């Protein structure tokens, strides 16, 4: 039984991990979260007070981080600025949280000998052609495209350097696109679901041909727990569930599941530098750690996600206006 510090635990994937760990293990958790626009404390409601605490603070605050890392057995580091479109408007917060924040945590883990697991993304590898038979593996060269993905790549390289130079006990996982309940409405799937629910047509960037490799957030959480408990120190594990779909297919499924005509969407200005395709080969994780995804039917996972947004408008309505105002300013 361990006491785990989860950074960014009031965000989409971090809060899923917190709920998953409290439901399935005897570990206890402290969340350290700055509570930026992307956080929602409603995602952490009803958790057992004897095994859960929330600390509001910034991962770049070295004194706060030092005390918290010293008093925990492990750190699982989710906190980051996470949205590509925002990074194109204003990269600076991405450098602060993703690079300096990770550095601050690594230094504390080094001082206190604390086990460290770093959460990262498949975007560090850049993108693939639509017809490329290869998928990303742990040995694919780094080639990030956006300010967001380049700061995540920088943070991964810091972790690798701190393992090699200072011997910290760290692992890294790089996961593909997550979907599921509690995701901020700025992101693709919840933006389109909540658009349809509010009578607005979904917005597809470019021609909608870009491919993402979708995984349910709970499968990401089970994989991270597996790496935390059984992964080899210094290793990187890619997390994916063979869920490749192009954006047009996803929008059409959302429209169909919400009883709308399949063509009832708008094509809007493309994202600059828009990565074409991501695809993960998760053989290492599956063979070495015996992990497998539980949500293997995307259509079913999407239906339950749509039902969650339909049934819990109080969770997302307060975010929607500000998120759409940012898109309007970007012409999307």
Pick from 28, 121, 192, 195 the residue near ligand NAD by CB under 6 A. 121
Give min distance, CB of 83 to ligand DAU, in A: 5
One symbol per residue from 162 to 191: x for binding ligand NAD (CB under 6 A), - otherwise; what is it?
-------------x-xx-----x-------
CB of 27 to ligand DAU, least distance (A): 25
Binding of ligand DAU at residue 150 (CB under 6 A)? no
Output the CA–CA distances (angstroms, integers) from residue 103 to 86, 93, 159, in the order listed: 22, 15, 8
> Stretches 23-31, 64-72, 203-211, 230-238: which one binds ligand DAU (CB under 6 A)?
203-211
Applying CB under 6 A, which of residues 136, 188, 295, 298 lies at the interface with ligand DAU?
188
For 57, the enclosing helix (H) or strand (E) is none
Rounded Cα distance between 5 and 53, Å, is 10
**CA distances to 101, 120, 214, 301 from 180, in Å:** 26, 18, 10, 7
Q: How far is CA 63 from CA 23, 41, 67, 312, in A?
A: 31, 24, 6, 38
Cα separation, 294 vs 170, whole angstroms: 26
**210 binds, options ligand NAD, ligand DAU, none, Cβ within 5 to 8 A by partner type:** ligand DAU
Task: Please report the sign of the dihedral spanned by the C-alpha atoms of residue 83, residue 86, residue 87, residue 91.
Answer: negative
Which residues lie below 8 Å from residue 213, measured CB to CB, with a gap of 6+?
Answer: 122, 176, 177, 240, 241, 242, 243, 244, 278, 279, 280
247 binds ligand DAU (CB under 6 A): yes
Q: Which residues make Cβ contacts (< 8 Å) with residue 92, sequence separation at least 6?
A: none
Residue from the set 37, 142, 205, 315 that interacts with ligand DAU by CB under 6 A? 205
> Minimal distance in Å, beta carbon 111 to ligand DAU?
29
Which partner from the list ligand DAU, ligand NAD, none does 78 bind, CB cut-off 5 to 8 Å by kind? Answer: ligand NAD
Q: Which of residues 105-124 bind ligand DAU (CB under 6 A)?
A: 121-123
Please tell me the distance from the alpha carbon of residue 306 to that of residue 87, in angstroms, as a whole number.
27
Of residues 253 through 312, those in contact with ligand DAU by CB under 6 A are: 271, 278
CB of 259 to ligand NAD, least distance (A): 27
Rule CB under 6 A: say whether 152 interacts with ligand NAD: yes
2 counts as binding ligand NAD under rule CB under 6 A: no
How many C-beta neighbours within 10 Å does residue 286 have?
A: 16
Question: Which residues are marked as active site?
Answer: 122-123, 148
157 scored as a contact of ligand NAD (CB under 6 A): no
Say if residues 186 and 323 touch (Cβ distance below 8 Å): yes
156 binds ligand DAU (CB under 6 A): no
82 binds ligand DAU (CB under 6 A): yes
Which residues bind to ligand NAD, rule: CB under 6 A?
7-8, 10-14, 33-36, 38-39, 58-60, 78-82, 97, 101, 119, 121, 152, 175, 177-178, 184
């Amino acid at each position: 039984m361990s006491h785990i510090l989860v950074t960014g635990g009031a965000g989409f994937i971090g809060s899923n991990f917190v709920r998953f760990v409290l439901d399935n293990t005897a570990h206890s958790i402290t969340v350290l979260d700055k509570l930026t626009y992307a956080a929602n404390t409603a995602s952490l409601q009803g958790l057992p007070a004897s095994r859960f605490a929330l600390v509001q603070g910034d991962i770049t605050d070295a004194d706060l981080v030092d005390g918290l890392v010293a008093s925990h057995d492990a750190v699982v580091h989710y906190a980051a600025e996470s949205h590509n479109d925002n990074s194109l408007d204003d990269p600076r917060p991405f450098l602060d949280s993703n690079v300096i924040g990770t550095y601050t945590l690594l230094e504390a883990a080094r001082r206190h000998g604390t086990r460290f697991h770093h959460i990262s993304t498949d975007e560090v590898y850049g993108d693939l052609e639509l017809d490329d038979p290869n998928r990303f593996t742990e040995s694919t060269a780094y080639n990030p495209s956006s300010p967001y993905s380049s700061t995540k790549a920088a943070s991964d390289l810091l972790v690798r350097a701190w393992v090699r130079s200072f011997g910290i006990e760290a692992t890294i996982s790089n996961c593909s696109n997550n979907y599921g309940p509690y995701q901020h409405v700025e992101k693709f799937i919840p933006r389109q679901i909540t658009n349809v629910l509010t009578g607005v047509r979904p917005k597809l960037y470019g021609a909608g041909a870009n491919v993402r490799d979708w995984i349910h957030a709970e499968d990401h959480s089970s994989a991270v727990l597996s790496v935390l408990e059984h992964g080899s120190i210094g290793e990187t594990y890619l997390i994916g569930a063979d869920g490749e779909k192009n954006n047009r297919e996803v929008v059409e499924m959302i429209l169909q599941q919400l009883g709308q005509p399949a063509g009832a969407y708008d094509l809007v200005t493309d994202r600059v530098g828009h990565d074409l395709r991501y695809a993960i080969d998760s053989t290492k994780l599956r063979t070495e750690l015996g992990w497998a995804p539980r949500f293997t039917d995307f259509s079913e996972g999407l239906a339950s996600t749509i039902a969650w947004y339909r049934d819990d408008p109080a969770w997302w309505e307060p975010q929607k206006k500000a998120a759409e105002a940012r898109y309007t300013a970007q012409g999307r």
